[in-house]
A and B are shown apart, each in its own frame.
Chain A
Amino acid sequence: MRAQFVFSEVWIGLKRNLTMTIALVVVVAISLSLLGTGLLFVKQVDQTRSFWQGRVQLSVYLCTKLSASPQCTRNGPATPAEMASIHQTLAALPQVTSVIYVSQAAAYAQFKSEFPSMVSTVSPSEIPNSFEVKLKNAQTDSSIVEANVDGVPGVDQVVDNSAILNKFYKLLGGARNAVVVIAIVLIIAAILLVANTIRLSAFNRRRETSIMRLVGASNFYVQLPFLVEGVIAGMFGWLVASALLVAVKSLWLDTLQQYFPFNVQLTSTDLIEVIALVMILGVLLTGATSFLTLRRYLRV
């Protein structure tokens, strides 16, 4: 095997139809990065979902002196007796795993740590005390539990955190679907482009290949430069795609988090996983297409 010979042939091939090669690299880059983005979205949703599992799923906010809702102005702030009865009601429900009381001071402390920039605008008395409820099954149980405490004296409002989460899922899910559809269309374009580039390359070098066959070069030797050519173009596309994926993660997915009441960032391991997966796909895509095209155009 003469590696130097193969690579010089590859270089000649890539240079001869430079415009096709560039088009190929661009399309592979875009399709791979879109596909990778879709995968990152899936990972983000999964991560957020598992982050939320085993955390507070329902917050029952209690009336304070400052609460403006009608049931609070009618009854005044929640009395210790009311609070005890609400706690009991919640704890007695079979759907509930645990109930934790969060006092105004504790809530303020938490708020301070989560939103340090906004501390000056809020005083401790403005933040209501609450019960944070963990459910056995967030999807099915939240409405049952909510019905049991909603409107009970002393309860200001019940907030279902999974409802907020659902918005996030919906947003990412929709984006993912759009991105995957575009990626599939582009992958088809990439396949056609690879086939076309290889065909052009085979045509450009029909003299060389006919002589190679004549003097008894094995099929492998005749086809290898073309195969390597396709795969190298695919690898360049993949490199560009990797850069784009890093950008998608750090500039988009990570900043998206600030609009939601949690912060689940994907780790670099997740990103590397997606980039590696996309590389395998890119190599398979360009390699297999080159190979199949060659079988048609470089017969013995």
Chain B
Amino acid sequence: MIHFDNVTKTYPNQSRPALENVTLDVEKGEFVFLVGPSGSGKSTFLRLVLKEERPTEGRIHVAGRDLARLTNWKVPYLRRRIGCVFQDFRLLPSKNVYQNIAFALEVIGKPRRFIRKVVPEVIDLVGLEGKRDRMPDELSGGEQQRVAMARAFVNRPMILLADEPTGNIDPATSIGIMKVLDRINRTGTTVVMATHDAAIVDSMRKRVIELEYGKVVRDQSRGVYGQAY
């Protein structure tokens, strides 16, 4: 599903590459943790998958497509197959829960009938029944992240990228978030989650890829967070 072949990314005006000779495969339906300290290249990895950045060297395939050969105007169609969740939720404060989720479908031109059908389904999936008319500032952090996950998943992407989704959320609530991610993963969606949260990684027992200074230092199935130390 995601295939990196000897990928190096050096940002302009920086001597040290953000990612260096990274080769890895993420299969369809996998759940992968991307761990490592700040600046280790986790976010660069996610940005490369979305083609927000281009690799300096190497090849990247996402959902069977060679990103180097993907023209700019086709990039939006790649992103429709990838859902994204962030630490800061990125909800629209002027829209309620339902509208925030529907927005993701409206802007890719889905018919209203379809939106009316799938949005309530995904609201149920993330566990926000009865809160569809709430505004984001009336929700807790965990609930806001659920809305963000619903928005990322409503178009049934093949891949879900999560960049520190529990970074702003207390440990107890994080468990609920992880349950939703697990539920999404069980529908066959590949999930890649970048995180600092050792407790979560240890409890989930999923594949762990550890980055350090832009290099893969560990790739372990059913791994834990801190084994390398």
Contacts and interface: CB of A to CB of B under 8 A. Distances in A.
Interface of A: 1-2, 5, 207-208, 210-219, 221-222, 300
The 5 A-B pairs of least Cβ separation, nearest first, read A216-B80, A216-B79, A217-B107, A215-B104, A216-B76
B90 A207 contact: yes
A214 B92 contact: no
Contact of B107 (A207, A215, A300): A215
Given A1-B109, A2-B106, A5-B107, A214 B84 contact: yes
Nearest to A299: B72
A207 B92 contact: yes
Given A2-B109, A211-B90, A216 B72 contact: no
B78 A216 contact: yes
Given A5-B106, A211-B90, A219 B73 contact: yes
B109 A211 contact: no
Most A CB contacts (10 A, CB to CB) among B77, B79, B107, B112 go to B107
B68 to A, nearest CB: 15
A30 B73 CA distance: 38
Interface in B57-82: 72-73, 75-82
A217 B104 CA distance: 8
10 contacts: A2-B109, A2-B112, A207-B90, A208-B103, A213-B76, A213-B79, A214-B90, A216-B76, A216-B77, A216-B81
A297 to B, nearest CB: 16
B108 interface: yes
Given A207-B92, A300-B72, A300-B75, A215 B151 contact: yes
A102 to B, nearest CB: 75
A212 B79 CA distance: 10
A217 B92 contact: no
Most A CB contacts (10 A, CB to CB) among B78, B103, B106 go to B106
Given A5-B107, A216-B108, A210 B90 contact: yes
Contacts of A207: 90, 92
A226 to B, nearest CB: 14
Contacts of A218: 73, 76-77, 108
Interface in B83-129: 84, 90, 92, 103-104, 106-109, 112
Interface residue SS majority, chain B: helix
B138 to A, nearest CB: 18
A208 B104 CA distance: 10
A124 B108 CA distance: 83
B190 interface: no
Contact of A215 (B72, B73, B155): B155
A221 B151 CA distance: 18
Contact of B80 (A2, A215, A222): A215
Nearest to A208: B92
Given A208-B92, A216-B155, 9 more contacts: A1-B109, A207-B92, A215-B80, A216-B76, A216-B78, A216-B81, A221-B108, A222-B107, A300-B76
A217 B108 CA distance: 5
A222 B109 CA distance: 11
B104 A211 contact: yes
A214 B103 CA distance: 12
Contacts of B82: 216
Nearest to B107: A217
A217 B90 CA distance: 16
Contacts of B108: 215-218, 221
Nearest to B75: A300
B148 to A, nearest CB: 10
A238 B90 CA distance: 39
A210 B86 CA distance: 13
A298 to B, nearest CB: 12
B147 to A, nearest CB: 12
Contacts of A1: 109
B76 to A, nearest CB: 4
Contacts of A216: 76-82, 108, 155
Contacts of A219: 73, 76
A210 B75 CA distance: 14
A91 B64 CA distance: 93
B77 A211 contact: no
Given A217-B108, A218-B73, A221-B109, A211 B103 contact: yes
A212 B105 CA distance: 10
Nearest to B51: A300
A252 B185 CA distance: 75
A212 B107 contact: yes
Contact of A221 (B50, B72, B78, B107): B107
